Amino acid sequence: MQLINQSEVQRRIDDLKDQDLYIHLEMTTGAYAAHFDSSKHPAATFITNAIIRFSHGSISGSGPYRVGLKMEHGWVYSEGLTHYEETEPERLIMAGHDSQGKLIVSLQLSRQPF
């Protein structure tokens, strides 16, 4: 994974618009959050290989970044993204890692199922 290059990610988002895409969207505080610190609230959610289509999409912020994708009847939104996978030209693989390197959020788009 590389630190997000905003203009490169924007170019890839534009390449993926107006077509059916498989999405993986996730946010997690980790299954052990409350075990290590009882004041923490463990929460996690993910959706994998749902199909979406967006007409406008952009990445904003100055890092960590936000991404919003406008669909016919709604939105995809993700905040806290720090890294993307440069070596995956066909798919957009993005994630946010915390200060310990742990994944806390991810947003992935692909023309093929994950």
Could you say whether residue 85 binds other proteins (CB under 8 A)? yes
Q: Is there a contact between 13 and 66 (Cβ–Cβ < 8 Å)?
A: no
Q: Is residue 30 close enough to count as binding other proteins by CB under 8 A? A: yes
Q: Which is nearer to other proteins, 7 or 99 (CB)?
A: 99
> For the residues of 50-88, what is the DSSP string, one character each?
EEE-EEEEEEESSSSEEEEEEESS-EEEEEEE-EE-TT-
Is residue 97 at the binding interface for other proteins, with CB under 8 A as the rule? yes
Using the rule CB under 8 A, give the single segment among 9-17, 55-63, 66-74, 80-88 that binds other proteins. Answer: 80-88
Is 91 a binding residue for other proteins by CB under 8 A? The answer is yes
